[in-house]
Structure 1
């Protein structure tokens, strides 16, 4: 049997391919190229799985959040200063040499000694009426003035005959003195109220200073280590509205009592804000605020008072803005910790939007045509109008926005 050897047409040593076979190979190559191109297009459009995509990539569905209806409150922060308030001079009416002073920062209440003058205590009591006179039993009605026929005699000798002897014929008006009168007034009521609050009794708390009141005063004076006179001198007592915190003295030990012998402040810490006079509408007595301490602690506060006079800015005219002092008090002093003074921030409510549709601010996206929009769970975008921004959320509205709609936070 004879073997047929194909004819070699060129120098390469490769047998020539029949025409039919070449056409089929060309068709297969073109089809393969078209298939690869189609797969590439499908992969680019995201319609097919990509072999190079990481299988552990986080799903974007985990960033979906709902549109919620809530009340947004805008808070504005202003600078303030924590302290005990402005120091006010105590109305010390005792005269003499200062022999003892308390330490600055000492708290004093009813019955406590504020200072000593000529080694006599000056005691704190509560009240609004200042001490303006001595309190005690009156000296009684004065003796009748002498007549022209009976010239006055030396003090203590009585009226009548030569040598200072009393004239038996003289009437009782010449030698008798009336019983001490009982002092009356609102200052007596104020003092007796304090005396009773200190635990002394045996008298009626009213506007009359009686023998019973004097007896109670003597017991009080004995407790203070003072002479039992039964009379309260004008310089023995200082009144205040409540507890006080001792400020800086204006005199040293051994100095004479003056107008600024000793100052005081309130005993509770408060915050003073120099609010802009043009934007102080928030500062209304009773308004709730938040006081934020330097360490970030938030303490509830309340506007206690607002100044009625604006303070002009310092420096050249036109610089800065006029301010009014706003005092903020905090009922829970324990939350303030041990901080007695320093800069703080006071946050007050500005604008408020009640029961509006809101989303996290991070959910907003910028649209190519302008404005803002939200991306929904199916990848479509809806345009929205924004309103109030507060607490990391934003008010949104639009025809396609509703409560419960799931929107995506871009990653």
Structure 2
């Protein structure tokens, strides 16, 4: 294509005036040192090729960005440009065959661009915690598990180290247990779940005071027992309510609450797996459980740490290609890479991230699945941008766009910024808002 000044060279190209565009046949790949993006049309004297240097190796799936999508868009455009001769020819076409301008156009627009990062996530019920037999149950140490509450009922003689009884009932895997419902039974006595943050660690009785007393009374009140004041004092009225509660649990009515008489957790729980069977002595690990709502967990590369904070929204794509909106609900502490491991992934520091989905119905019937999580990576406001397929790679390096002027068209070099949403940030001399540019179809 002859430049508007009739010199045969493309106006606005970077470099010395004597450095005309390198002559290449249509479809020929630009040299690796051109720095072109894969699949982007290359402006040469004889047509459009594509740039595909070795430094553009395919990224991992969990590190792909919107640029990968952009590359696919312009691959077909390169062949079309070469075929139509828009970017140049051998001079054999007649004047009537020569195109009068670009096949399609778009305007340079001022906008806000947001890049995204798609990472691997796991749909499930979150981290498992363990319910253990209480202190004094056989040889059990009685240690509670973080987030899982203390272990349940032991023998009446909780400090003797004697056998704590026989497990007579356990819930099925997948069962949801709510406040007041049995976690398990020992010698046919129910061991219920109560909501709170501190396990029962002492005997509570008339005259006891403290936050654990208030937690007990709050639970009794929620379960429908009354006649007492919810505060941090255990009175005779509290003892009377406890006796009613114990009767409903088929337990001895003592009016006292011993350490291990209930399992304490921060809310309803879902049984993941039972570790004992009916007939076993109460000892060690009893069962594992999780939260009751499905959520998404991500081990995020720490380089994307700035992309997440509590309240950040993300788009989650399920295995059936439907998508749901999730919100970051917890950001953990970065892991420490393992120098001894041969596993490459374990040598990379990661940040545990948890996302919740408000509309659980949109998750369908999936109980556990691998999902894609799209996070907002970076946002740039008030930038000039054009469709990505408006870019033309200069065979000598860099990029140009075809600008429509009153006299025809000319090529102007551009500096590239962020790629996002099939758009690319551009800047440079003569690059202004509203300028009309060629966009290959």
Q: What TM-score comes out, normalization by structure 1 length?
A: 0.70
Whether the aligned pair in 1 keeps the contact of 2:300 and 2:353 (CA below 8 Å) is: no
User: Offset of 1:305 from its aligned partner?
Assistant: 2.3
Which of residues 194, 198, 205 in structure 1 aligns to 2:223?
A: 198
RMSD between aligned residues: 2.8
SS at match of 2:228: coil
Going from structure 1 to structure 2, the CA distance change for 1:225 and 1:317 (only over 3 Å counts) comes to: closer
Question: Aligned equivalents of 1:108 and 1:98: distance in 2?
Answer: 18
Whether the aligned pair in 2 keeps the contact of 1:246 and 1:265 (CA below 8 Å) is: yes
Instruction: Give the match for residue 92 of structure 1.
Output: 152
Instruction: Give the match for residue 75 of structure 1.
Output: 116
SS at match of 1:187: helix
User: Offset of 1:248 from its aligned partner?
Assistant: 0.7
Asked if residue 361 in structure 1 is aligned to residue 421 in structure 2, the reply is: no
Instruction: Give the match for residue 26 of structure 1.
Output: none
Paired residue total: 318
Q: What TM-score comes out, normalization by structure 2 length?
A: 0.65
Instruction: Give the match for residue 136 of structure 1.
Output: 205
Going from structure 1 to structure 2, the CA distance change for 1:250 and 1:314 (only over 3 Å counts) comes to: farther
User: Offset of 1:335 from its aligned partner?
Assistant: 2.8
User: Offset of 1:279 from its aligned partner?
Assistant: 5.3
User: Offset of 1:272 from its aligned partner?
Assistant: 2.5
User: Offset of 1:285 from its aligned partner?
Assistant: 4.1
Question: Aligned equivalents of 1:219 and 1:82: distance in 2?
Answer: 42
Matches within 5 A, 1:155-304: 182-277=207-302, 280-296=305-321, 297-304=323-330
Unaligned runs of 5+ in 1: 1-41, 138-181
User: Offset of 1:344 from its aligned partner?
Assistant: 1.8
User: Offset of 1:238 from its aligned partner?
Assistant: 1.0
User: Offset of 1:239 from its aligned partner?
Assistant: 0.8
User: Offset of 1:207 from its aligned partner?
Assistant: 1.8
Going from structure 1 to structure 2, the CA distance change for 1:242 and 1:311 (only over 3 Å counts) comes to: farther
Question: Aligned equivalents of 1:311 and 1:287: distance in 2?
Answer: 26
Q: What is the CA deviation profile of residues 67-107 of structure 1, one whole-angstrom value per residue up to 9, with x for unaligned ones?
A: 11111112122222222223211122423111111111211
Unaligned runs of 5+ in 2: 1-90, 132-150, 155-163
Asked if residue 388 in structure 1 is aligned to residue 422 in structure 2, the reply is: no
User: Offset of 1:286 from its aligned partner?
Assistant: 4.2
Question: Aligned equivalents of 1:82 and 1:131: distance in 2?
Answer: 33
